């Protein structure tokens, strides 16, 4: 399957608009749905911003694409060949939304979930056609990060996986096909890094600013060019063996959630979306920071696309 003629994106928060904008750029008629009218209003601006980012990346426009904003789920699903669920990361909510989607679309329609890592089979349990249900894990911001994890549940067919990989490749994105594990690959690695960072800040080893500087250059810059498995070869496996013999036992193995995070979420300090979080944001700071981040990601993506991937 190439990019679907008609698609529906359910949930229009951080992820939905960028996903919709990319599908539309590749010629799909996209219906973006949310239960919140305010979220749909914000989504119009977010889709415009995403579209201008795609212009900066010089992604050609396939004619015929569009995004419409729908409060009504049934309208959003009409005629969809592909449905992407992007509602909050709560298993029961996702199951209920999936049941509503299934009630409105034919058994041949592919239903994908953008879950950050809930096992696909856990979500598919109550579905009447789990064979067409699949994980499609986009990375944030989805219109910029050219990689999508594709995860089959126990009952997903190989044909559905092939079709989804075809769509991902049609965007010029890389598809990473994985076996089902909680968090998939990306978030297992990302959350290992974040757990250690939070633990170091909590212990007072470094400030959050120093953490961000160290990880950006010492890890992010390097890993953007050399994958971790190749980096092991570059560093020397003997060095890894020596360092990990004393370091691994000292790394955080905290199985709970960092109190630094839970103290903030209790106060509804959720980060940029509430203009307060790990960092404080003054008037206009969030918009300026988001613009800086987008500019940086566009520049780095252009540079990375010109070098040989390692
Ligand atoms: N934020 C990220 O960086 C990121 C990255 C990759 C994947 N994800 C995953 O994508 C999904 C969405 O994440 P997000 O960050 O966009 O969440 P979000 O909270 O920003 O947005 C979710 C949206 O879904 C809407 N919603 C809630 N119930 C709904 C319903 N029944 N029908 C339609 N819309 C409904 C909410 O009003 C909200 O606008 C989650 O599963 C998340 O784990 C998030
Ligand atoms: C903190 C965090 N959690 C989940 C995801 C993706 O599922 C991301 C991301 O894509 O950036 C993230 O930053």
Determine the structural domain holding residue 133 and report its residue range. 6-182
Does 72 reside within a domain? yes
pLDDT for position 309: 62
Distances in Å between the Cα of 47 and the Cα atoms of 67, 166, 170, 242 are 8, 24, 20, 49
Burial class, 63, CB count within 10 angstroms (exposed 0-12 / middle 13-18 / buried 19+): exposed
pLDDT < 70: residue spans in the chain: 1, 309-310
Ligand 2 atom closest to the CA of 140, numbered from 1: 10
Query: Can you give the pTM of this predicted structure?
Result: 0.96
**Inside any domain, residue 199:** yes
85, 192: one domain:
no
Report which protein residue has its CA nearest ligand 1's atom 38.
13
**pLDDT for residue 1:** 65
Residue ending a domain, choose from 130, 163, 182: 182
Q: What is the C-alpha separation between 83 and 112, in angstroms, rounded?
A: 6
Q: Of 141, 163, 182, which closes a domain?
A: 182
Domain harbouring 277, CATH code: 1.10.1040.10
Q: Give residue 126's pLDDT.
A: 82
Do 165 and 3 form a contact (C-beta atoms < 8 A)?
Answer: no
Q: For position 68, what pLDDT does the model report?
A: 98
155 within domain boundaries? yes
The torsion angle over the Cα atoms of residues 238, 244, 198 and 286, rounded to 10 degrees, is 10
Residue 55 lies in a domain: yes
Ligand 2 — pocket residues by CB below 6 A? 116, 139-140, 187
Compute, in angstroms, the gap from residue 104 CA to the centroid of ligand 1.
21
Q: What is the DSSP string of 57-117?
A: TTPPPPTT-EEEEES-HHHHHTT-SEEEE---S-HHHHHHHHHHHHHHS-TTSEEEE--SS
- φ and ψ at 292, to 5 degrees? -60, -45
Q: Is residue 310 in a domain?
A: no
Give the closest residue (by CA) to ligand 2 atom 7. Answer: 116
pLDDT in tens, 93-107: 999 999 999 999 999
The ligand with the least distance to the CA atom of 185 is 2
Number of domains in the chain: 2
């Amino acid at each position: 399957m190439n990019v679907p003629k008609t698609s529906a994106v359910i949930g229009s928060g951080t992820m939905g608009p960028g996903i919709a904008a990319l599908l539309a750029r590749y010629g799909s008629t996209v219906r973006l749905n949310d239960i919140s009218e305010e979220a749909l209003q914000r989504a119009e601006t977010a889709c415009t911003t995403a579209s201008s980012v795609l212009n900066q990346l010089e992604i050609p426009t396939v004619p015929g694409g569009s995004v419409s904003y729908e409060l009504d789920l049934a309208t959003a699903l009409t005629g969809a060949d592909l449905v992407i669920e992007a509602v909050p990361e709560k298993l029961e909510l996702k199951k209920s939304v999936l049941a509503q989607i299934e009630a409105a679309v034919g058994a041949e329609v592919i239903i994908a979930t953008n879950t950050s890592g809930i096992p696909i089979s856990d979500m598919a349990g109550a579905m009447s056609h789990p064979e067409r249900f699949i994980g499609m894990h986009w990375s944030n911001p989805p219109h910029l990060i050219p990689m999508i994890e594709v995860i089959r549940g126990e009952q997903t067919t190989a044909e559905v996986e092939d079709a989804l990989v075809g769509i991902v490749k049609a965007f010029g994105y890389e598809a990473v096909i994985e076996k089902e594990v909680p968090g998939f690959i990306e978030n297992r690695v990302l959350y290992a890094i974040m757990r250690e960072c939070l633990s170091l800040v909590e212990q007072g080893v470094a400030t959050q600013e120093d953490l961000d500087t160290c990880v950006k250059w010492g890890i992010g810059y390097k890993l953007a060019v050399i994958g971790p498995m190749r980096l092991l070869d570059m560093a020397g496996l003997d060095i890894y063996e020596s360092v990990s013999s004393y370091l691994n036992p000292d790394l955080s193995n905290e199985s709970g959630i960092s109190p630094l995070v839970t103290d903030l979420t209790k106060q509804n300090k959720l980060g940029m979306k509430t203009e307060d979080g790990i960092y404080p944001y003054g008037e206009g700071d969030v918009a300026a920071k988001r613009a800086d981040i987008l500019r940086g990601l566009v520049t780095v993506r252009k540079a990375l696309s010109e070098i040989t991937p390692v």
